[in-house]
Homo-oligomer: A and B are copies of this chain.
Amino acid sequence: MGIAGSFKVALAGCGTVGGAVAKILVRDRELIKSRSGVDLELKYIIDIRFDHAKELGLDPGLFQTDLETALKDPEIQCVMELIGGTTLAREVIRRCLLAKKPVVTANKALLAHHGAELWALARREGVSLAFEASCGGGIPLIRAFYDGLLANRLDAFYGIVNGTCNFILTEMIQNGASYSQALKQAQEEGLAEADPTLDVSGGDSAHKLTIMAALAFGRKIELEKIPVTGIDALELMDVAFAQELGYVVKLLAVAQRQSGGLSLRVRPAFISKAHPLAWISGAFNAVSIYGHAVGHTMYYGRGAGGSPTASAVVADLIQIALGAYPLLFSQVKVWPDLGEEEVQLGPDQITSRFYIRTVMQDTPGMFAQMSAILSKHGISISSALQKEPPEDIPGGTGVPVVVTTHTTQEGLVRRALEEFDKTPGVRQKSVLIDIIDEHPERI
């Protein structure tokens, strides 16, 4: 067997990722051919402006403003959607699929919102829709879900899937920077947007969680039902307490099977220093996936940036050109459009261990009151820590008191803290952070 002639592709959207893809396809054409056996030929770069494409020195003969030209060209065997966003990109993918062109996309927001519809459309049209680049940038991570770990029932995964947040947290952890200082540094280094909301709010991580959870559990996942907390309210004091207790704070996308349904959430969370995710620093991403046969596996690499993301886009092109992806897309059963809906637990039903940090007046009996309230709500304390007050506690003097709980329902803890926060002598709203324990391997 072999591929006769070149495999001609069109690129829609020549921004950071699209530009990097175009550059690799042109510059590394021989390298890719020598390794993959596929001669990938970029025939069209479709966009409305070509400033960036020109900067990269790409051949203006490839520039095309009308998608229809590519769709009507029978030579085009695949279109890459690298426009981003959920409106135009959705329409572009729909049109490509209806023209029976396989699509490769890196668009996590679109897939999280409208994935099931698009995968189903691809299936109806008998073409495939590949999306390795949508989660974890260049890490071959989506492949673990639809290929490498297929022999496993997947019980849980924990992901650091936003490099901006991980960079900010690493600055806070390693250099004691405040959130706003660390954000400023991320912006200066080009790792955070001028408006960083989508990243720091956890929204981007929730998009990726939606896609990965669908594949992991073979279920339809509703983005809107995922409880999401960002890192923008995180205080340095809690980052320091985490260290002291043997943990590290990471923004985690967490997915677990729990009794009654799936527990999916995006949270700044404490993870043990003994867990490899605790050591993922800077802008890197990593996802730990737990299978019933394989146990714990983890995938690490650059989760963003033009060149790493382009690596994943081109890997998908190659799989499509070789015919392997169409076989997997048509036969494997984990795709999000195929599964039933599954109960997604609300924030109140999710069970976890928790870290609670209050600031209270330094008088006898305060801690006893807190213990009594937690106990009344059925929450069992695992450890407690009272410290000398740091200088920068907001809300005036007081001592921080830290409690960690055994596994309990989040709703119980929230109600207990609501009650406790009204107690005279409590100086600020109590802070509640999930503690993510190592998932038990059952191999």
Contacts and interface: CB of A to CB of B under 8 A. Distances in A.
B311 A152 contact: yes
Contact of A333 (B24, B34, B152, B298): B34
A298 B301 contact: yes
Interface in A290-312: 291, 293-302, 305, 307-308, 310-312
Interface residues of A, number: 68
A198 interface: no
Given A276-B276, A280-B276, A294-B301, A3 B151 contact: no
Nearest to A25: B151
Interface in A75-121: none
A384 interface: no
A211 to B, nearest CB: 17
A376 interface: no
A139 interface: yes
A374 to B, nearest CB: 34
Contact of A300 (B24, B300, B330): B300
A242 B251 CA distance: 31
A126 to B, nearest CB: 9
A396 interface: no
Interface string A143-176: 1100111111100000000000000000000000
Number of copies: 2
Interface stretch (A179-187, A223-231, A318-326): A318-326
Interface in A1-54: 1-3, 20, 24, 28, 31-32, 34-38
Contacts of A310: 151, 293
Interface string A315-358: 10011001111011011111000000000000000000000000
27 contacts: A3-B331, A24-B151, A28-B153, A28-B293, A32-B151, A35-B150, A35-B333, A37-B332, A140-B144, A140-B148, A148-B312, A149-B311, A150-B314, A150-B315, A151-B311, A151-B315, A284-B296, A293-B311, A294-B311, A295-B301, A296-B300, A297-B299, A298-B298, A299-B300, A308-B443, A322-B328, A323-B327
